[in-house]
């Protein structure tokens, strides 16, 4: 029996498009004499559809597409991810489901049992959990179908379990000979390793071949890294397709495979690929062809320029340099060097006259008052207004260039450098920004060394540096990491060897900047805890 | 037996403050010879604490305060809302709980069974649901303790139920003589009526006196209207305290009460009170004393000025008029009239020179291109920058003045008129804005009639009116209401008698503006479906 696992890139809610993608793959597999083709979780819908799932008309249309896919199943068995409904007077009545069809008909429906409801996940909001497990029986074989989270609750793998039920154990008890997991499992640093080890252990523990297929593609903030994998009954990885692109593997049950060597990609390579996919899909799926961004001469905007160029091509990236009286000579020179190296489009718009005019207009209001952060923000906001004007006039998507360390501490100007439709590196710590720059320059100096070596500065007042306000980034980022990603508190972080006053100060900065982040552009999630939908704190609160 | 129901206004996470408020009330009730004092759901913590609940140190401190409150219980029985923990290897291990203490000790814990996880609610993210029901036994009486949602699943009241379990039924089965419901039930138009009728029916159906106490106060977007109520065993309302302020009722079990007449307040009065509380608490709880806003001469900013003045006092409201070449004479004149009437502070900053300077600076980029929405947004953003500069310099909170009809259709400028820390009327449709203005003017002309009668216009180009782009507001608002609040789709809305093309156009506008709303300031929720945390659509999606 030949099984094909296909990782596809659906667009959320674009049912016709996603349907066609599925049909196209079914047709190809017919020619390849495939017995069973398997698509990822919610492959017809895209993940996460959020409140679209509350629309009856949406679910109606999904269900009618389910039927249409069944009609295309013919001699190839098709297992795809979608939503099903059971009419009832209690609860939401819809289920995150895997639908198996064959010979033009839906043969069995396998509903997700474990609904993730933490971090960026809100599945309990939409779906009913299922406790009815049945096997998929096809051509004399018994398959245990699980959907993403269903496989993430093995008591031998996790110290702390989220649920008291293990669907994998259940399908094995029922006699499954092969375990299938269809996922929409978003990328974060290190996840590929955990995922691979976990499925390897599941295969090994239950002594069953285990097949995994993940959704690929970015949907706003979430980046699905894709990939299909097959593990043999000893837990050896025997097949693996490319991640970060649509890909597939063909597994013949009756064939004997040798274990393959699978070198986990370095984190930095994964991050680089993820960010490029994130930018590319945001633009492609929203219909933007070109992006615009402010190039300051600093490393953040230089990095975003490189990523945008890789995602969209140099002809689609428009860089705007907006020097003020506080900008250093080097900033423009270095920016120009980068622009030339990348071949992206650019212009220079000095902001001095605008800055002067604002100060003049505000002179009466501000009389006898010292210049302070107000005037710094003013410069940042003038730049924001200019970029948005260009974005509006030409229909380019504005990319915000702030990093995670800034967004965490509030070292960013609301309606200024925070302007943008997408913030590609808002989940990338400053130290990781440097790491990415060095990775990009591994063979060739793409980002001018001057930019990498420059002392970080917002250049909003004379001789300003980031470290006037913040500790060195290697210290800051570690504290931020422990606080944001490891959920440690002051005393615990101090135990790692940091100064208590400093830790308290930083944590307070993070808490206080909540109101800014509430209005931030969506960012691409690459860590296990990004700002945005996965981290929800009240703005009005007094804890600490 | 004398029971006191106390509606208090906690600040989220401000445990010391909330603890002191509870203790203070316990001490008063001791002097009043109260037997049992009852506080609302999560009264020690404030609602909703969101991801604070994921912090172990936070829960540790909550638990230590639980114990401290018990120590204060003495001869008064105390029932308050908090969080409890059960150590275990599965799930989140924390429970939304009512804690009963007496004579210095915790006597019983009553855990919430039904966890709301829709609209603005995410309780499944944080809490474990309880299925263990026990009665509160005190001085020979048996009480059935329920927490908010626990009472919202009566099969005779609701056609569609969210859960297959009814905690009220359960406590009655166990022999409860009195039903208690401790709530953090946020305000929305019409909810007071539903809530009152529902508890009346519960009392009547089970033939048990029913006591209800709600949290009061606003926390960011959610406004809790408070109030305590007692229903007799026939479902008659016999006691009711004031809403929109801290209040209490004293119920003597052994006394016979006559039904009271309770006139439901008009919706417009409720909305007015809710918005004022929302502004007041946002400022008080975040530490802002003063607010700033742009006064355009239109009705929206006039209304926000009145509300802010009522919430904070005229000396704490600073209005900025920022006329451009497109502003009409009347706009400034009418604004001045309002300013004088209210006695708020104000200034005029014309934006012409700034607008000219931006156009000059952008001349090269924009050469040979017609003026369009870019130049309109430019004016709005210049105003945003000026307001933020004043906000930064003086530490005033900027109020955004946009209404729900604008936010829905995207008829608002991101980083322009959308700037602000709080958007008080962003859940108020334009037609409701007029209604509020007329309510405010019911006895005296507070808002100049000229402002109310003026044709709505953004005044961003010559002779512009809102109706160049949008249908009349009475039509628009109805379509928006059906779509946003009733979750109707095109065909269903057309059935109400609207033009299909118009409905399609409006719904598309709503969907397309999702990216703007993602970056909007938090607004005060007054309808059953506000933009913000309770309405979650993907930005990148293609449904429609």
- Structural domain spans, chain A: 2-255, 271-455
- The residue among B393, B448, B399, B444 whose CA lies nearest residue B420 is B399
In chain A, positions 426-485, which contact chain B (CB-CB < 8 Å)? none
B172 close to B206: Cβ distance less than 8 angstroms: yes
Cross-chain CB nearest to B55 (options A51, A393, A489): A489
Instruction: Tell me which chain B residue has its CA closest to the CA of residue A391.
Output: B374
Place of tokens 């017609």: B370
Sheet holding A178-183, edge to edge: A136-138, A141-147, A178-183, A210-214, A228-231, A237-240
Give the number of beta-carbon pairs within 8 Å between A and B.
Answer: 260
Cα A184 from Cα B332, distance rounded (Å): 55
A35 close to A76: Cβ distance less than 8 angstroms: yes
pLDDT at B131 over 90: no
Burial B452-465, CB ≥16 within 10 A → b, else e: bebebbbbbbeebe
**Lowest mean pLDDT across A13-17, A222-226, B156-160:** B156-160
Report how far apart the first and last C-alpha atoms of chain A are (Å, whole number). 60
In chain B, positions 176-215, which contact chain A (CB-CB < 8 Å)? none
Mean pLDDT for the stretch of residues A405-430: 98
Instruction: Tell me which chain B residue has its CA closest to the CA of residue A278.
Output: B540
Query: In this complex, is the C-beta atom of B104 within 8 Å of any C-beta atom belonging to chain A?
Result: no
Q: Which of A4, A41, A285, A419 is catalytic?
A: A41
What average pLDDT does chain B have?
97
Read off the pLDDT of residues B110-128 as tens digits, 9 standing for 90 and up.
999 999 999 999 999 999 9
pLDDT band at B170 (very low <50, low <70, confident <90, very high): very high
Query: In this complex, is the C-beta atom of A220 within 8 Å of any C-beta atom belonging to chain B?
Result: yes
Contact across the interface for A522 and B521, Cβ inside 8 Å: no
Read off the pLDDT of residues A34-82 as tens digits, 9 standing for 90 and up.
999 999 999 999 999 999 999 999 999 999 999 999 999 999 999 999 9
Q: Partners of B439 in the beta sheet?
A: none
Give one DSSP letter per residue of A299-345, joined into a string: HHHHHHHHHHHHHH-GGGEEEEE---TTS-HHHHHHHHHHHHHHT-E
Per-residue pLDDT, A203 = 98
Shortest distance, CA A346 to any CA of chain B (angstroms): 11
Per-residue pLDDT, A89 = 76
Give one DSSP letter per residue of A239-296, joined into a string: EEPPSSS-EEEEEETTS--PPPP-PPPPHHHHHHHHHHHHHHHHHHHHT---EEEE--
Shortest distance, CA B455 to any CA of chain A (angstroms): 27
Contact across the interface for B90 and A374, Cβ inside 8 Å: no
Query: In this complex, is the C-beta atom of A234 within 8 Å of any C-beta atom belonging to chain B?
Result: no
Per-residue pLDDT, A139 = 97
Contact across the interface for B361 and A351, Cβ inside 8 Å: yes
Contact across the interface for B388 and A377, Cβ inside 8 Å: yes
Mean pLDDT for the stretch of residues B394-402: 98
Q: Which residues in chain A have their CB less than 8 angstroms from residue B488's CB? A: none
Mean pLDDT for the stretch of residues A532-537: 96
pLDDT band at A329 (very low <50, low <70, confident <90, very high): confident
Query: In this complex, is the C-beta atom of B392 within 8 Å of any C-beta atom belonging to chain A?
Result: yes
Give burial (CB, 10 Å; 0-12/13-18/19+) of B246: middle
Mean pLDDT for the stretch of residues B83-106: 95
B416 close to A392: Cβ distance less than 8 angstroms: no
Best to test chain B binding among A419, A460, A538 (most B CBs inside 10 Å) = A538
Q: Which residues in chain B have their CB less than 8 angstroms from residue A380's CB? A: none
**Lowest mean pLDDT across A177-181, B159-163, B435-439:** B159-163
Per-residue pLDDT, B89 = 76
Percent residues over pLDDT 90 in chain A:
94
Shortest distance, CA A514 to any CA of chain B (angstroms): 11
Q: Which residues in chain B have their CB less than 8 angstroms from residue A388's CB? A: 377, 381, 414-415
Read off the pLDDT of residues A110-160 as tens digits, 9 standing for 90 and up.
999 999 999 999 999 999 999 899 999 999 999 999 999 999 999 999 988
Q: Is A191 a catalytic residue?
A: no
Query: In this complex, is the C-beta atom of B90 within 8 Å of any C-beta atom belonging to chain A?
Result: yes
Cα A258 from Cα A492, distance rounded (Å): 46
Would you say how long chain A is, in residues? 544
In chain A, positions 489-508, which contact chain B (CB-CB < 8 Å)? 489, 491
Cα B93 from Cα B91, distance rounded (Å): 6
Cross-chain CB nearest to A52 (options B54, B415, B541): B541
In chain B, positions 345-384, which contact chain A (CB-CB < 8 Å)? 347, 349-351, 353-354, 357-358, 360-362, 364-366, 369, 372-374, 377-378, 381-382, 384
Contact across the interface for A46 and B285, Cβ inside 8 Å: no
Query: In this complex, is the C-beta atom of B388 within 8 Å of any C-beta atom belonging to chain A?
Result: yes
B250 close to B42: Cβ distance less than 8 angstroms: no
pTM: 0.97
Per-residue pLDDT, B366 = 98
Instruction: Tell me which chain B residue has its CA closest to the CA of residue A371.
Output: B393
Do B2-255 and B271-470+513-518 agree at the fold level? no
Q: Which residues in chain B have their CB less than 8 angstroms from residue A154's CB? A: none
Per-residue pLDDT, B534 = 96
Cross-chain CB nearest to B220 (options A48, A361, A539): A539
Contact across the interface for B162 and A90, Cβ inside 8 Å: yes
Cα A318 from Cα A399, distance rounded (Å): 10
Instruction: Tell me which chain B residue has its CA closest to the CA of residue A50.
Output: B537
| Active-site annotation of B, residues | 41, 112, 148
Q: Which residues in chain B have their CB less than 8 angstroms from residue A373's CB? A: 392
pLDDT band at B539 (very low <50, low <70, confident <90, very high): very high
pLDDT at B159 over 90: no
Cα B209 from Cα A445, distance rounded (Å): 78
pLDDT at A366 over 90: yes
Q: Which residues in chain B have their CB less than 8 angstroms from residue A349's CB? A: 361-362, 365
Contact across the interface for A56 and B489, Cβ inside 8 Å: yes
Q: Is A170 a catalytic residue?
A: no
Shortest distance, CA A452 to any CA of chain B (angstroms): 30
Query: In this complex, is the C-beta atom of B54 within 8 Å of any C-beta atom belonging to chain A?
Result: yes
Per-residue pLDDT, A318 = 98
Cα A538 from Cα A531, distance rounded (Å): 13
Query: In this complex, is the C-beta atom of B166 within 8 Å of any C-beta atom belonging to chain A?
Result: no
Reported ipTM: 0.96
Query: In this complex, is the C-beta atom of B86 within 8 Å of any C-beta atom belonging to chain A?
Result: no
Report how far apart the first and last C-alpha atoms of chain B are (Å, whole number). 60
Contact across the interface for B365 and A378, Cβ inside 8 Å: no
- The residue among A329, A325, A316, A246 whose CA lies nearest residue A279 is A316
Mean pLDDT for the stretch of residues B453-476: 91
pLDDT band at A469 (very low <50, low <70, confident <90, very high): confident
Read off the pLDDT of residues A248-277 as tens digits, 9 standing for 90 and up.
999 999 999 999 999 899 999 999 999 999
Cα A395 from Cα A289, distance rounded (Å): 9
pLDDT band at B329 (very low <50, low <70, confident <90, very high): confident
Cα A517 from Cα A519, distance rounded (Å): 5
Give one DSSP letter per residue of B257-326, joined into a string: -PPPP-PPPPHHHHHHHHHHHHHHHHHHHHT---EEEE--SSHHHHHHHHHHHHHH-GGGEEEEE---TT
Top CATH class, A2-255:
alpha beta
Q: Which residues in chain A have their CB less than 8 angstroms from residue B17's CB? A: 542
- Higher-confidence residue of A468 and B238: namely B238
What average pLDDT does chain A have?
97
Using CA atoms, how far residue B310 sits from A229, B275, B289, B347, in Å, is 63, 10, 13, 20
Cross-chain CB nearest to B50 (options A357, A491, A537): A537
CATH topology of domain B271-470+513-518: Rossmann fold (3.40.50)
Considering the four listed CATH numbers 2.40.110.20, 3.30.1330.40, 1.10.1660.10, 3.40.50.620, the one that applies to the domain covering A271-455 is 3.40.50.620
Mean pLDDT for the stretch of residues A327-350: 95
Q: What are phi and psi of A142, to 5 degrees?
A: -110, 120
Tokens encoding A347: 């212009």
Is the Cα dihedral B130, B132, B138, B144 positive or negative? positive
In chain A, positions 293-322, which contact chain B (CB-CB < 8 Å)? none
Q: What are phi and psi of A339, to 5 degrees?
A: -55, -45
Cross-chain CB nearest to B537 (options A50, A540, A541): A50
Contact across the interface for B57 and A349, Cβ inside 8 Å: no
Mean pLDDT for the stretch of residues A214-234: 98
Cross-chain CB nearest to B358 (options A117, A350, A385): A385
Q: Which residues in chain B have their CB less than 8 angstroms from residue A543's CB? A: 12-15, 52, 55, 58
């Amino acid at each position: 029996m030949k099984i094909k696992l296909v990782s596809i890139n659906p667009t959320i809610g674009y049912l016709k498009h996603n349907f066609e993608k599925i049909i196209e793959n079914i047709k190809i597999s017919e020619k390849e004499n495939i017995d069973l083709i398997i698509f990822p979780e919610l492959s017809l819908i895209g993940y996460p559809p959020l409140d679209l799932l509350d629309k009856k008309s949406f679910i109606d249309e999904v269900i009618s597409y389910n039927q249409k896919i069944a009609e295309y199943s013919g001699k190839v068995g098709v297992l795809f991810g979608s939503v099903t409904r059971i009419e009832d007077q209690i609860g939401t009545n819809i289920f995150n489901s895997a639908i198996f069809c064959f010979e033009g008909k839906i043969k069995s429906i396998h509903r997700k049992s474990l609904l993730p409801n933490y971090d960026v996940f809100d599945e309990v909001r939409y779906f009913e959990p299922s406790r009815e497990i049945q096997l998929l029986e096809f051509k004399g074989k018994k398959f245990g179908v699980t959907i993403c989270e269903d496989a993430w609750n093995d008591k031998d793998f996790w110290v702390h379990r989220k649920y008291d039920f293990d669907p994998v154990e259940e399908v094995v008890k029922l006699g499954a000979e092969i375990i299938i997991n269809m996922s929409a499992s978003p990328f974060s640093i290190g996840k590929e390793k955990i995922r691979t080890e976990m499925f390897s252990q599941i295969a090994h523990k239950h002594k069953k071949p285990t097949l995994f297929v993940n959704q690929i593609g970015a949907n706003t903030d979430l980046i699905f890294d894709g990939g299909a994998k097959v593990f043999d009954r000893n837990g050896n990885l025997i097949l693996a397709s490319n991640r970060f692109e649509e890909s597939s593997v063909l597994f013949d049950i009756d064939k004997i495979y040798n274990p393959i060597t699978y070198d986990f990609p370095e984190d930095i390579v994964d991050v680089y690929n993820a960010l490029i996919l994130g930018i590319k899909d945001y633009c492609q799926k929203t219909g933007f062809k070109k992006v615009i961004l402010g190039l300051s001469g600093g490393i953040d905007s230089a990095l975003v320029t490189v990523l945008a160029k890789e995602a969209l091509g140099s002809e689609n990236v428009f860089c705007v340099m907006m020097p003020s009286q506080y900008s250093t000579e080097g900033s423009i020179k270095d920016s120009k060097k980068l622009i030339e190296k990348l071949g992206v489009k650019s212009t220079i718009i000095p902001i001095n006259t605008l800055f002067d005019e604002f100060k003049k207009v505000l002179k009466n209001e501000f009389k006898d008052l010292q210049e302070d952060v107000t005037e710094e923000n003013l410069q940042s906001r003038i730049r924001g207004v200019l970029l948005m004007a260009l974005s509006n006039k030409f229909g380019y998507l504005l990319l915000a260039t702030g990093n995670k360390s800034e967004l965490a501490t509030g070292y960013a100007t609301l309606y200024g450098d925070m302007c943008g439709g997408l913030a590609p590196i808002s989940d990338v710590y400053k130290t990781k920004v440097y790491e990415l720059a060095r990775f990009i320059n591994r063979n060739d100096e793409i980002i001018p060394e001057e930019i990498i070596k420059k002392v970080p500065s917002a250049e909003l007042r004379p001789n300003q540096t980031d470290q006037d306000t913040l500790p060195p980034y290697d210290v800051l980022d570690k504290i931020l990491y422990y606080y944001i990603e490891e959920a440690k508190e002051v005393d615990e972080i101090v135990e790692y060897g940091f100064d208590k006053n400093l830790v308290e100060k930083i944590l307070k900065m993070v808490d206080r900047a909540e109101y800014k982040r509430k209005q931030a552009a969506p960012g691409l999630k690459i860590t296990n805890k990004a700002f945005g939908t996965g981290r929800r704190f009240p703005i009005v609160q007094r804890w600490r």
